[in-house]
């Protein structure tokens, strides 16, 4: 975002956005399981293309590996970051050429929708987007500009999926406390009412350290029980990570700002804090505010968003090449040479949406200090198991349920997909769609090496979890197992400082490089799209 283009005064001639490669997720078809999933023929960058003139290269994904993971299971989305950067750059007359190099055979990275022939949609990655805040409004403005308003499937704040969320603790399913009654009296699985905790939090002093783990932060300001149960579950649902290792400043910056600016999380939430610059809402975002949306998706799945971006970019003359996996980057007097499978490409400036470790592995030796910082951003592997049952089998209605690490390290949570987006159900019959998320920071501990794990084992554990947690006795009529290797970046203690050091190093070295994607400033779809916008605006101001 703070990368400086090395160009003569005047318009930037060509920009390149680099996303890496994304292979198909592992699938298997036990019992009546449809083995079909998204399969796209690979295409490659033609070395005869006239791409030897200076340009901005956007690298949206990851470099060549023997096997690649496929889309992730939570709200992280690297591919959409590169497309977004190209989207905002291609608006400007300052940029005469934008080239997107995508290592996969498809665009969109983690936004991947499995569309069955019968009309059912199963999300292999993120399944809903929140409309709130500057980043949420920014994404809705993009959706509107792409002409997707009629495809939006909103879920209101009054919907049961927005109102009810559950925890599986001590072998039982518990509804999360809500409303006044949930504040005033103890609600299992919690032994204390929440209101006294909120009132006493106002008087807790600020931390002396600039950063601390989420578990430590919530234990200090509220209670260890809340940290052990609610925060552990939340971190497993959002980051597939360990709340005892994740940074509060990086993972939940609003909480960190509330304490640092207001001295209290509660006061910060009531009085507000200074954070990201605001984004003016367009008509669609205003509609979301008026109708009180809690989240939204698209009629054919969230993959429709990168598909629409691709069409928009092509209509603007952006060159988008799939199957262009990055082997290495070399500095030149005018910028960069990008080594791909099909040959070298010259670039004035690179916007990298590669995962941090992947970018570090392809940088030249002159950037070893930067590579060392990038390699400290590790990722976890998640198994996502989609299940379809032939009837309405849920004993409760809501968004889904999560588990704290103390309950079962293997299972992160279960999402009740058919409750909040019934439009994605098969039109035939009254089916139930569920997604079971497993592994994350505990994957190797529970399942072993991801390269050798059996999909039979993953499916069996997922079906067993649904039986144990929800009392569902019947077997699914359809299932899909997707193993997402290294899919969610982990923002450990010191992450925000490391990202600041990365961008300071880039700025001080006058390196024509911008960093976007979920490795740096947030893992949600909104965060990743906004990172592309921020990088584009920063580059165009140089």
Query: Does residue 149 lie within any of the structural domains?
Result: no
Note whether 389 and 456 are same-domain residues. yes
Lowest average pLDDT, out of 49-53, 101-105, 444-448, 456-460, goes to 49-53
Lowest mean pLDDT among 39-43, 168-172, 260-264, 445-449: 39-43
Place of tokens 């911008």: 514
Rounded to two decimals, the pTM is 0.88
Question: Residues 443, 477: one domain?
Answer: yes
CB 186 within 8 A of CB 193: yes
Q: Is the per-residue pLDDT at 65 higher than 60?
A: no
pLDDT for 34 equals 39
Residues 456-463: contacts with CB under 8 Å, at least 24 apart:
456/28, 456/30, 458/383, 458/385, 458/483, 459/28, 459/30, 459/385, 461/410, 461/411, 461/436, 462/383, 462/385, 462/387, 462/411, 462/436, 462/438, 463/387
CA–CA dist 194, 177 (Å, integer): 9
Number of residues in the chain: 542
The predicted structure's pLDDT at residue 105: 83
d(CA 243, CA 247): 8
Does one domain contain both 458 and 536?
A: no
- pLDDT, position 391: 96
Query: Is 199 a member of any domain?
Result: yes
Q: Of the given ranges (130-139, 172-181, 390-399, 463-472), which has the lowest mean pLDDT?
A: 172-181
Domain that holds residue 366: 12-25+51-112+319-377+494-540
pLDDT (0 to 100) of residue 184:
85
Task: Give the pLDDT confidence of 500-512 residue by residue, as tens digits.
Answer: 999 999 999 999 9
Confidence of residue 171 (pLDDT cuts 50, 70, 90): very high
Distance of CA 293 to the CA centre of its chain: 20
Q: How many helices (H) and strands (E) does the chain have?
A: 20, 20
Domain check: are 395 and 450 in the same one?
yes
436 and 529 assigned to the same domain: no
Q: Residue 60: what pLDDT?
A: 53
Share of the chain above pLDDT 90, in %: 70
> Is residue 337 a part of any domain in this protein?
yes
Residue 331: which CATH number? 3.50.50.60
| DSSP state for residue 282 in the 8-state scheme | -
Q: What is the model's pLDDT at position 276?
A: 74
Instruction: Check whether residue 199 and residue 242 sit in a common domain.
Output: yes
Q: Do the domain assignments include residue 302?
A: no
CB 234 within 8 A of CB 402: yes
Q: How far is CA 18 from CA 220, 359, 369, 370, 514, in A?
A: 42, 10, 21, 18, 10
pLDDT of 337 reads: 93
pLDDT band at 239 (very low <50, low <70, confident <90, very high): very high
Cross-strand pairs, 326: 340
The CATH number assigned to the domain holding 262 equals: 1.10.3110.10
If 0-12 CB within 10 Å is exposed, 13-18 middle and 19+ buried, where does residue 390 land? middle
Same domain, 536 and 519: yes
Number of folded domains in the chain? 3
Q: Which two tokens stand for residue 382?
A: 């998640």
Rg of the chain taking only CA atoms, in angstroms: 23
Please report where in the chains the tokens 């059912």 appear, as a residue: 120
Query: Which has the minimum average pLDDT: 77-91, 253-267, 299-313, 394-408?
Result: 77-91
Backbone angles phi, psi at 52, to 5 degrees: -90, 5
- For the segment 234-244, the average pLDDT, to the nearest whole number, is 98
| Residues 369 and 421 occupy one common structural domain | no
Name the band, by pLDDT with cuts 50, 70 and 90, for residue 63: very low
Specify the pLDDT at position 40.
28
Higher pLDDT, 388 or 342: 388
Using the predicted structure, report yes or no on whether residue 7 has a pLDDT greater than 80.
no
Identify whether 335 is part of a domain.
Answer: yes
Contact criterion met (CB below 8 Å) for 24 and 37: yes
Cα angle: 137, vertex 72, 279; to 5 degrees: 10
Q: Are strands 349-352 and 12-19 parallel, antiparallel or unpaired?
A: parallel
Tell me the pLDDT tens digit for each residue of 20-43.
543 344 443 444 443 333 322 222
CATH number for the domain spanning 391: value is 3.90.660.20
In a 10 Å sphere around its CB, with 0-12 CB exposed, 13-18 middle and 19+ buried, how is residue 477 labelled? Answer: middle
* pLDDT tens-digit series, residues 308-359: 999 999 999 999 888 888 899 999 998 999 998 888 888 899 999 999 999 9
Phi and psi angles of residue 80, each rounded to the nearest 5 degrees, phi first = -70, -25
Q: Are residues 231 and 373 in the same domain?
A: no
Q: What is the pLDDT of residue 409?
A: 97
Determine the angle formed by the axes of helices 304-315 and 133-145, rounding to 10 degrees: 60
Is 356 domain-assigned?
yes
Whole-angstrom Cα distance, residue 511 to residue 336?
Answer: 10
Instruction: Summarize the confidence of residues 189-216 as an average pLDDT.
Output: 91
Q: Which of 433, 441, 403, 437 is nearest to 416 (CA)?
A: 433
Residues 512 and 371 in one domain: yes
Cα gap 257→402, rounded to integer Å: 26
- For 137-165, b/e burial (b = at least 16 CB within 10 A) is bbbbbbbbebebeebbbbbeeebebbbbb
**What is the per-residue pLDDT for 201?**
87
pLDDT of 47 above 60: no
- Domain membership of residue 100 (yes or no) is yes
pLDDT digits (tens, 9 = 90+) for 103-127: 888 888 889 999 999 999 999 999 9
pLDDT at residue 29 in the model: 40
3-state secondary structure of 230: helix
pLDDT-wise least confident of 86-100, 117-131, 399-413: 86-100
Q: Report the candidate in 124, 70, 86 with the shortest Cα–Cα distance to residue 533.
A: 86
Q: Please give the pLDDT value at position 82.
A: 93
- Mean of pLDDT values over 457-480: 98
Q: Which of 260-264, 272-276, 455-459, 524-528 has the lowest mean pLDDT?
A: 272-276
SS3 416: coil
Q: What local confidence, expressed as pLDDT, does residue 178 receive?
A: 85
Residues of the chain with pLDDT > 70, as a percent, come to 86
Same domain? For 351 and 384 the reply is: no
373 and 499 within one domain: yes
pLDDT, tens digit, 9 for 90 and up, residues 364-373: 999 999 999 9
123 lies in some domain? no
> Residue 291, CB half-sphere, CA atoms under 13 Å: how many?
16
Taking all residues of the chain, what is their mean pLDDT, rounded to a whole number? 86
The whole-number pLDDT of residue 331 equals 96
H/E stretch holding 469 reads helix 455-470
């Amino acid at each position: 975002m703070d990368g400086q283009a090395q160009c003569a005064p005047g318009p930037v001639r060509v920009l390149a956005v680099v996303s890496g490669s994304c292979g198909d997720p592992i699938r298997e078809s036990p019992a009546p399981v449809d083995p079909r999933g998204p399969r796209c023929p690979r295409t490659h960058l033609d070395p005869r293309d006239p791409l030897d003139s200076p340009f901005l290269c956007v690298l949206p994904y990851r470099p060549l590996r023997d096997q690649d993971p496929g889309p992730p299971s939570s709200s992280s989305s690297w591919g959409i970051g590169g497309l977004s950067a190209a989207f905002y750059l291609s608006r400007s007359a300052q940029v005469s050429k934008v080239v997107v190099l995508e290592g996969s055979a498809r665009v969109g990275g983690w936004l991947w929708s499995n569309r069955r022939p019968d009309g059912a949609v199963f999300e292999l990655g993120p399944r809903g987007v929140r409309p709130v805040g500057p980043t949420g409004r920014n994404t809705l403005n993009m959706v509107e500009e792409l002409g997707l308003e009629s495809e939006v499937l909103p879920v209101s704040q009054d919907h049961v999926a927005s109102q009810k969320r559950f925890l599986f603790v001590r072998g039982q399913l518990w509804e999360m406390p809500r409303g006044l009654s949930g504040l005033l009296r103890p609600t299992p699985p919690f032994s204390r009412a929440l209101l006294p905790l909120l009132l006493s939090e106002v008087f807790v002093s600020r931390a002396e350290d600039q950063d601390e783990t989420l578990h430590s932060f919530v234990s200090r300001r509220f209670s260890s029980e809340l940290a052990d149960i609610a925060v552990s579950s939340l971190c497993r649902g959002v980051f597939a990570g360990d709340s005892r290792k994740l940074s509060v400043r990086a993972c939940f910056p609003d909480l960190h700002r509330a304490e640092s600016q207001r001295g209290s999380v509660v006061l910060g939430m009531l009085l507000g804090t200074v954070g990201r610059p605001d984004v003016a809402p367009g008509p669609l975002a205003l509609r979301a505010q008026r109708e009180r949306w809690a989240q939204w998706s698209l009629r054919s799945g969230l993959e429709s968003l990168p598909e629409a971006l691709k069409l928009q970019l092509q209509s603007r003359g952006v060159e988008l090449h799939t199957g262009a996996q990055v082997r290495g980057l070399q500095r030149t007097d005018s910028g960069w040479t990008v080594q791909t499978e099909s040959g070298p490409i010259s670039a004035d400036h690179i916007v990298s949406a590669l995962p941090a470790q992947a970018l570090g592995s392809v940088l030249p030796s002159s950037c070893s200090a930067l590579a060392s910082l990038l390699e400290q951003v590790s990722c976890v592997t998640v198994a996502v198991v989609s299940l379809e049952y032939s009837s309405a089998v849920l004993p409760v209605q809501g968004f889904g349920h999560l588990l704290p690490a103390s309950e079962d390290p293997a299972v992160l949570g279960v999402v009740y997909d058919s409750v909040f987006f019934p439009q994605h159900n098969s039109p035939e019959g009254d089916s139930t769609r569920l997604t079971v998320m497993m592994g994350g920071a505990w994957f190797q501990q529970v399942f072993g090496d991801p390269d050798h794990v059996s999909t039979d084992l993953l499916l069996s554990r997922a079906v067993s979890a649904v039986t144990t947690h929800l009392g569902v006795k019947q077997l699914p009529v359809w299932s899909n197992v997707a193993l997402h290797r290294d899919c969610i970046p982990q923002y450990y203690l010191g992450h925000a400082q490391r990202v600041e050091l990365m961008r300071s190093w880039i700025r001080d070295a006058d390196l024509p490089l911008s960093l976007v994607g979920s490795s740096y400033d947030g893992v949600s779809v909104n965060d990743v799209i906004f990172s592309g916008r921020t990088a584009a605006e920063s580059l165009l101001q140089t």
